[in-house]
Amino acid sequence: MHQDAQTSLLLWYQANGRHHLPWRHPLHPYEILISEMMLQQTQVNTVLERFYYPFLERFPTLESIARAEESEILLAWRGLGYYSRARNLHALAKTCQQGLPRSVSELEGLPGIGAYTARAIACFGFRESVAILDGNIKRILSRFFALLGVGERELWRRAEEFLNPLAAFDHNQALLDVGALLCKPKNPLCQECPLSPWCKGKEDPLRYTPSKTRRYEELELFYGICIQEGRVAMVQSQERLYKGLWGFVPLLGAPLDSSSLGMIKHGYTKYKITAHLYEIRSLPGDSKPSWIPLGELEHLPLSILAHKLWSCFLERSSLK
């Protein structure tokens, strides 16, 4: 149906695509996984220049991640931010001891893998003929088909309709490049665009630019409540939004010697937080808490999350 446009796109890609990017060439699915996880929240150049190769050198296989302590993964991820990705990667590696699955449905069931990442791994790692849809491709398709006010489902449908099944890998990479280099949010370069002859929205591209819906990031956090001699270990935050507020001791992950007291869902700016609570007997080595008498806790400025955790603790702990 869109054969001429697909061919034009491929020809443009052969001549103008960003072929220097390492994930443009046949790679092991594991390497695609790492690139996609890193690119979820971090710009291409930053990933490429500082993180991609050192991480692969430190952890060359999924098994090497599964064998490592979570703290080692977090250390290698340091500087990339959004550490939930590193934790998800660790959890994923432990789940996939036999290697990554190749089907989209199985990939989507793995920690930290959403609709886009699952299809990117299936297409770029396993050469499956599936469409992908990220922010750039949504913009291209909205303009190309002159779509107004359509939702995610319709955009996925259009991505599948436009997919070139005979060259899915190059087709998808080409769309990513058109989005990054030509079909830009504010000043699209329609005159240079290989899709221009068939683009229904090119006369007024900004009209067909999807409005940005807020994207939330899922965060999984772990906190410990440690009480000794009637005092509770508390930490005062120095982070900008929480500055000065008190909270419980953050943990790197679930402690081995304590079962979860409960789980709290909490929204915080662009984060959707799932916080797991533990009663702990000893503190992590690097924590330097203040010991607050239990009776003074209600006078302490607690973050909302800490309030929720404390309520959960009172309901379920030995203090009940």
179 to 208: interface string for ligand SF4, x by CB under 6 A: ---xx----xxx--x-xx--x-xx--x---
Sheet of strand 271-279: strand arrangement: 249-251, 217-225, 271-279, 260-268
CA distance 188 to 10: 19
Q: Residues 77 to 116: which contact ligand SF4 by CB under 6 A?
A: none
**Distance of closest approach, residue 201 Cβ to ligand SF4, in angstroms:** 5
Burial class (CB in 10 A: 0-12, 13-18, 19+), 236: middle
Binding status of residue 210 toward ligand SF4 by CB under 6 A: no
163 to 182: interface string for ligand SF4, x by CB under 6 A: -------------------x
Shorter beta-carbon distance to ligand SF4: residue 194 or 247: 194
**Chain centroid to CA 267: how far?**
17
Nearest Cα residue to 307 out of 277, 270, 271: 277
CA distance 119 to 113: 9
Binding status of residue 140 toward ligand SF4 by CB under 6 A: yes
Indicate the SS3 state at residue 217: strand
Q: Which residues contact 257 (CB under 8 A, 6 or more apart)?
A: 281
**Distance of closest approach, residue 162 Cβ to ligand SF4, in angstroms:** 11
**Distance of closest approach, residue 10 Cβ to ligand SF4, in angstroms:** 15
Supply the residues annotated as catalytic: 36
Indicate the SS3 state at residue 68: coil
Q: Which residues contact 287 (CB under 8 A, 6 or more apart)?
A: 233, 235, 249, 250
Binding status of residue 147 toward ligand SF4 by CB under 6 A: no
**Distance of closest approach, residue 12 Cβ to ligand SF4, in angstroms:** 10
**Position among 85, 119, 138, 143 found at the interface with ligand SF4 (CB under 6 A):** 143
25 to 44: interface string for ligand SF4, x by CB under 6 A: --------------------
Nearest Cα residue to 274 out of 302, 308, 230: 308
**Residues making contact with ligand SF4 (CB under 6 A):** 140, 143-144, 182-183, 188-190, 193, 195-196, 199, 201-202, 205
